[in-house]
Every structure is written in C-alpha cells, then in structure tokens.
Structure 1
Amino acid sequence: MDGFVLTWAGECSSWECDDLGHLNMRYYVRKFGQARAGLFVRLGLTHAYKPGTSSTVRVRDFHIRYQAEAHPGNPLKVMSAILQLHEDTVQLCHIMYHEDGRVAASAVETVEHFYLTAHRTFAWPKRVQLSAKTFTVPMPDVAKPRNIDLSVAHIGRTAQVLRDAGLCPVGTGVFEASETDITEYVTAGAIFGRTTSSIAWFRDGWPELYDHAYREANLSAALLEARLVFHNHPQQGDAYDYMPVLVGADAYTRRFVHNLVDPISGESWATMEACGCKFDLNTRRLIKMTEADIASLMAAAKPDLTP
C-alpha cells in the first residue's frame, strides 16, 4: 500500500506461542513495538532508542485486531504508516502479514514524543514533521476496529471504585526490568503479557475453562481484539493488581475490561478493553454461544464498569 514502509520482518518462534498453539498476544505487541522503532528511525529520530538519549517516544493508546493465527515457524512482516501527526503525538498504523499475503494482525496506536529528563511531552522536530508527509495514509479498512470505539475515552477506575462494585484482584505481581524499554517505563507488550498470564483465574469471564469436559474436547478461548490505554506509566519495581470484569456478551463474543491498578496508591495503571470468543482448537474457529450461555454470562456481568 502507498505510504506504508517495511519496518520489521522475522518469524513466529515456538517459544513465543502459548497453549493454543499460536503466537501469544504479548509477542504480537512486541513485534509491533519493533515496527514502531523502525518507523521512527526512518522518520529521523535516529537517537530515540539509543542509550543515553534525552528524548524518545512512549505509547499512550494501543489497539490491536488479531486476524489470522501465526504458528511456530511462520514468516511474518510488518508494514507501518502514519495516520495523523499532531504537535506532540502521532497516530500510527501497523499491519502484520503472513508470507502468503494474509493479514495476521493490525495495530493502531497513539504515541507521544517524550522528554525523559523532564518527564513531559514536547513537539516533534521539524525533520519529523517534514518526513511524516511521505508516510501518511488514510485509515485502511483492515485496521479499523470491529467491536471497540477508539473515540471513547477510558476512565481508568480506581481500586476502591472497583472493590465497591464487587471486584477483587485475581492476579498480582511486580514489574521487572525486562518489561521496560528505553523510557524506563513498562511497555504495552508487558501489560498484555501480565493480562494473559493472569486471565486463567478469571472464572466469571471464562467459566468454560473450569469445565473438564470442555477442555477435554480441545475447546478453549481466544482474544479477537483489544485496546490498551495507559492512565499512569508503571516502572520497574512497581506492583499491580489485576481486576478484570465481564461487561457484555452476545452470540459470538464476550467483552471485558482488564483493570491493572496500583495496590499502593489505588490509582489505575492501565485499562484494556477486550473482545474474546470461545475457540475450537480442532477447527481453529470460534464457537457460537447459545442463549443459555449468554444468559449465564450476563448474570455475572457488570455492564456499567466500562473502562
């Protein structure tokens, strides 16, 4: 596509895959992170990812659609472009392709130009403004959200508000150095990773995963689409509590909000709006839910706890 440039190419490695046999969501996000870096270097920010830099970029808002599974050994590549350049932020689009041209996933993200020593955003330099014109495109259909409205702001509810609504932590931990980048803040990929490693405890969202017969039939669950919004940026050594909630369901999907909050201050680190489905590992297709399935899920749902 005109305006898009190759920013990353590699493969899906076996160690990046999960028990579903496909690339885990955290590694899709990490590969898009590589593509982001590749695009900014081409835009003229050649120092942004080097040690000792005083300014770089930081993700504020990240949306992803998973479209065709990637399995171990599959070659993958990412093409990237700019959707909108603002004074100190930019909206980027990345499209990940399989070797045969199928789209594996797409991402739309808002990234800010960040001054590390002052911990604030600041305007893009002239060279970026000029070079951006070459890489600017309209939003391609393949990257448009299907179940998530990117124009709706996330609230970022506090731990106390979530507890008052009946939620409790089902996952917890402390962020490690390996989960940060040149900014010394935790990456979007790390947030996706912490979510996927805790979701097995989320019984209200995935009761089927506690059903032995369901698992024996080689049935599971899959993520279709998600949007992550940072409200505060955690660093190495910061703790988090994971407080998820089911907010809706229909015949094909169920919708969640994954809340990561600071257990010390109670403030929100990030919210992830997500859309998932029941998944047949034999046919590699989603499973339609019955009316009884939907009614059972909605009995535990809290539709008012939007992100």
Structure 2
Amino acid sequence: MIPLWQGSCNQWDCDEMGHMNVRIYVEKQLEGLVTLAHELGMPEAFRPNAPSTVVPVDQHIRYVREVLPGKPISMQGCVLEIGESDAVIYQEMRHSDGRLAAAFRTRIAHIDTAEGERFPWTAKTRARMEALKGETPEEALPRSFDPEKPGMALKDITLDYAKSIGAPYIGMGAVPPAHCGVHGWMEASWVIGRLSDMVPNLLYDWRQRVGEASADNKRMGAAVLEYRLRYHRLPRVGDRFVAYSSFGGVNGKTHSLVHWLMDPETGRPWATSEAVAITLDLDARKAVAAPPEMMQELEKIAPRGLGI
C-alpha cells in the first residue's frame, strides 16, 4: 500500500450526530484517488483538459470507528483487481494510533471526458497498477454486503416502479456548480451527501419515537456501518434529482435502507444505494436495538421492494 492522503476531521466536517459525515469520507476518498491517478501515470486525469479520467461505478464503504472533530486521520491504498477498462481500488482511513476508521472498495472505470465512454488502460498504466496490487486486510473486509453481487437490472430501476410499491419520497434538489468536478459531473461525494441530507425526512420522527420508547427517553441518532453505492449516471449542473427509500431488513441491532436517487425528467436512476445502520444513543455513543414494534413501524413507513 502507498500513502494517499493525510489530514484531520474539522468541526464543520461533522453532522448532527457529532461525527464526520458520510459525504466527507467520500470527499477524502476521492482526493486519495487523485493521488493514486498520479502514481498510475495519469497526472492529468482530474485536470480540466484531460482526455480521460476515472470515475467510481460501484463502491462499498465500511465505517469501523467514528471520526470525531480534531482527530488526525490518514489514508493509504492499493489496487485489488485490474480489468480491461476498469479496476478495483482499496483505500483505508486510519486513526493516528493505527486503528481502522473506514475502508473503501471502489470499482473505477477509465472513460473519455468528451462522451463518458469506457476505453482500455494504456500499457504503462496497467504496469503501474500491477506494481501496486495488494489485498484487503482481514479487519476491513465487507460484512453486510457482497460487493460483487449483481444489482438490479438497470431497466427495472424506474421512478414508476418506486412509486408503485409505495416507497416514500424523501427529498429533491438540483445540482449546483459547486458540487461538480472539473469534467462537469456531480462528484460522487455529493451523491451520498445529498442522500444523507434527505434521510431525516424519513427517519427524524421515527428516531424520536424510538427514544421515547426507551426506559430513560434517550437522545437517539444513527450511524451507518456499511454502504454500497452504484453510480449509474452522474448528473451535471442544472440536472434535478428526487429520492425514494425502502426498508431493506433488520439483523440484530442493525437495519438497512435502500435509497434511489432518480432523474425526474427521464424516470431513470442517477444512483442506487443501500445503507446498513444502527440506532445510536447519542450520549453513550453506543448502538441501541430498536424495539421490534418500531422496526415494524419503519417497514410500514418505507415498504420493502427497492433493490440496489
């Protein structure tokens, strides 16, 4: 593995749960990807006039230990797999004491910046990738997802289908220039970021009722443990998006939700994702098992049926 990034968590990187927001994790992961591109002999990949670049198409994220304000963190990574025009990259974020904070397994595609079409790696880049091949540490392996499991067929991911199963509408928005990279596409960090912004429309009142149902009326929040995201198309400035959610299931103290970020103009997906989360006691910073009746209520609020 090679070093890709080093910095710290700022107060403004954190959300209402008191820890670093999921958007910031991906923001730093993408910054590490820029460093990796330089190491692969593609220093122009993230500059405005680049003929080609790399973009994430499928990503698994595992959050292992909270990152709190003021904490120093660093990132290193390697190459796991090499395809003709894609590759799987491993990146890990660690605390200053060496403990794992988060791990990212990202399938990237090599595309031309004019049309967004995939094309093969150069021999030079492939050789550099081979020199950086490594393995995912045992402690960072996926737990809740098989990142290679095929998702839903693209033709089946439609706005009409989300509405037909009664999936709740959780938010909408439009892409501003500040959320786009140099090639004009919305940055992947803002895909997960905007979903994070919209989830309270689904869960805020439910979390309050979970707290009220506890013996001492705990202050409740949530923490995501794992995320899988599939990026089908990246929107551009001025494009609109809407989001719908569905209950994915419950396993012990964890529950999962599937989110679809959709194009209201075409009814097709921008991105689909699944998040495995815990209900978090905000004062004790510990996971709390929501009562079965509250999970049943959540499934009524967000009926099953959406897939990634």
Per-residue displacement from partner, 1:98-126 (whole Å, max 9, x unpaired)? Answer: 00111110000000111112321111111
Per-residue displacement from partner, 1:28-69 (whole Å, max 9, x unpaired)? Answer: 010000111111111110111122111111111111111111
> What are the residue-to-residue correspondences of 1:36-115 with 2, within 5 Å?
36-115=33-112
- 3-state SS of 1:254 partner: strand
CA–CA separation in structure 1 for the residues paired with 2:173 and 2:294: 32
Give the superposed CA RMSD: 1.9
- 3-state SS of 2:225 partner: strand
Match of 1:15 among 9, 12, 17: 12
Shift of 1:210: 5.4
Larger mean Cα displacement after TM superposition, 178-187 or 234-243: 178-187
Q: Letter of the aligned partner of 2:44 in structure 1?
A: H
Cross-structure match for 2:246:
245
Q: Letter of the aligned partner of 1:86 in structure 2?
A: G
CA–CA separation in structure 2 for the residues paired with 1:298 and 1:172: 22
Please tell me whether the aligned partners of residues 167 and 302 of structure 2 are also in contact (alpha carbons under 8 angstroms): no
Shift of 1:162: 0.6
- 3-state SS of 1:30 partner: helix
Please tell me whether the aligned partners of residues 249 and 297 of structure 1 are also in contact (alpha carbons under 8 angstroms): no
Shift of 1:153: 2.1
- 3-state SS of 1:274 partner: strand
> What are the residue-to-residue correspondences of 1:156-167 with 2, within 5 Å?
156=154, 157-167=157-167
State percent identity of aligned pairs. 27
CA–CA separation in structure 1 for the residues paired with 2:278 and 2:238: 34
Please tell me whether the aligned partners of residues 62 and 228 of structure 1 are also in contact (alpha carbons under 8 angstroms): yes
Cross-structure match for 1:34:
31
Q: Letter of the aligned partner of 1:5 in structure 2?
A: I
Cross-structure match for 2:3:
6
Shift of 1:293: 3.4
Cross-structure match for 1:192:
192
CA–CA separation in structure 2 for the residues paired with 1:93 and 1:302: 34
Please tell me whether the aligned partners of residues 63 and 224 of structure 2 are also in contact (alpha carbons under 8 angstroms): yes
Distance 1:288 1:198, change over 3 A: same
Cross-structure match for 2:131:
134
- 3-state SS of 2:169 partner: coil
> What are the residue-to-residue correspondences of 1:244-283 with 2, within 5 Å?
244-283=245-284
CA–CA separation in structure 1 for the residues paired with 2:256 and 2:209: 19
CA–CA separation in structure 2 for the residues paired with 1:159 and 1:50: 34
Cross-structure match for 1:149:
146
Please tell me whether the aligned partners of residues 255 and 275 of structure 1 are also in contact (alpha carbons under 8 angstroms): yes
Task: Output the TM-score relative to the length of structure 2.
Answer: 0.93
Please tell me whether the aligned partners of residues 5 and 75 of structure 2 are also in contact (alpha carbons under 8 angstroms): yes
Per-residue displacement from partner, 1:269-296 (whole Å, max 9, x unpaired)? Answer: 1101110110011221111233333344
CA–CA separation in structure 2 for the residues paired with 1:198 and 1:210: 19
Shift of 1:141: 1.9
Distance 1:214 1:39, change over 3 A: farther
Q: Letter of the aligned partner of 1:196 in structure 2?
A: S
- 3-state SS of 2:194 partner: helix
CA–CA separation in structure 2 for the residues paired with 1:210 and 1:154: 33
Please tell me whether the aligned partners of residues 240 and 263 of structure 1 are also in contact (alpha carbons under 8 angstroms): yes
Per-residue displacement from partner, 1:164-207 (whole Å, max 9, x unpaired)? Answer: 1112422000011121113311121001110111111114x971
Per-residue displacement from partner, 1:232-264 (whole Å, max 9, x unpaired)? Answer: 221111100011111211321111111000111
Task: Output the TM-score relative to the length of structure 1.
Answer: 0.93
Shift of 1:299: 4.3
Q: Which sections of structure 1, spanning at least 5 residues, go unmatched? A: none
